[in-house]
Chain A
Amino acid sequence: MNDDKTRFEEEKTFKGWLVVLGGPLKGRDFRLTEGKNLVGSSRLADIGLADSNLEPLHFSIRCQEKDVCLTDLDSDSGVFIDDKKIDRQIIPDETIFKAGDSEFLIKIFKGR
């Protein structure tokens, strides 16, 4: 069983995973919590990724009660779903999108 380091912070509700399907961090997954999750190459981001083509704060994933919203944070290289650049979009479970050199997937956790 995992030790205490992997336990979710009590004040945040676990909502799912950001899975890296391609790029320099292929094979990794990161936990998403309720509310806004900032993603980028900066250490200040909630999810900091070592992808040189990602902006320091590239996009955000807002996990709400009923849906998940993906927002491009005015990045130069953009965020793409099915090769279409998006600014802000409500996305269903297991949506694949690209940003920087990486390909991501959002897996929404379905509790009981």
Chain B
Amino acid sequence: MTICGNCFKKLVDDHPFCPFCGFPRRPVGLKQCNKGHVIYETQQTCPFCAQSQNLGKSLIGFDMNSTQQTGIEDKVKPKGAIPDKTVFERDDDEKTRVDVNLDNTIIVVGAPFYAWLVFLDEAGAARHDMRLVKEKSIVGKGVDADIRLEDDFASKLHALIHFEKGSFYIADLGSTNHTWVNDRQVLKDELQDGDAIRIGRQTMIFSRLRRNP
């Protein structure tokens, strides 16, 4: 390919002068700017990065119509650039993964059990439920509790619900007003499906699948 040394337009015939600007025809070399962009030898400013000083050495045999220019631009991208996609890989060591959907439903992947606490109102009707997703869940009114109760009669860390070897247990954590299961005070007891747990003034029904998935 022959290029006019003045207007840089392509010359397609053997005319001794450029048909566009009349500049005498002569071969035009190529060179690189400091950032690696390939430009014509007669250009004083790189059109890609506007560098006008210290333009680099000349190139021989470089095809301006090839895709190499794009490749050079890619190479000069700053290190640590943000990739187009961020891939989050699941930690295989994590046994249980909990996701919360926009509709506030809970997805539990890999949990060894299905169990819920159903909170009752004063009339004994179901008010709302909560799925147990951890093998150890602390119930209380403190901010560190996994299941928080808005009840002044509950201790900050009131009781522990614990899953072990296919069974659920509840243990009182030295609470002021004690933990009650089916109207019986307990220090530690195994929970059965349908048991009524009372902590402070809150009554909740423990519900679980009899078989583990």
Whether A27 pairs with B125 at a CB distance below 8 angstroms is no
Q: Which residues of B contact A107 (CB under 8 A)?
A: 114, 207, 209
* Contact flags A9-44 to B (C-beta < 8 A → 1, else 0): 000011001010100011111110000000000000
| Cα distance A7–B119 in the bound complex, in angstroms | 10
Total contacting residues, chain B, CB less than 8 A:
36
Among A1, A2, A30, A112, contact of B196 (Cβ-Cβ < 8 Å): A112
- Asked if B150 contacts A1 (CB within 8 A), the reply is yes
Dominant secondary structure of chain B at its interface with chain A: strand
Judge if B180 is at the interface, Cβ distance under 8 Å.
no
**When chains A and B are docked, how far (Å) is the Cα of A94 from the Cα of B109?**
20
Q: Could you say which residues of chain A place their CB within 8 Å of the CB of B125?
A: 13, 111
A84 within 8 A of B: no
Do the beta carbons of A109 and B127 come within 8 Å of each other?
Answer: no
Q: A25-B107, A29-B116, A29-B131 are in contact. List 14 more A-B contacts (CB 8 A).
A: A1-B130, A1-B147, A2-B129, A7-B127, A7-B128, A8-B129, A14-B129, A19-B209, A27-B110, A107-B209, A110-B194, A110-B207, A111-B125, A112-B196
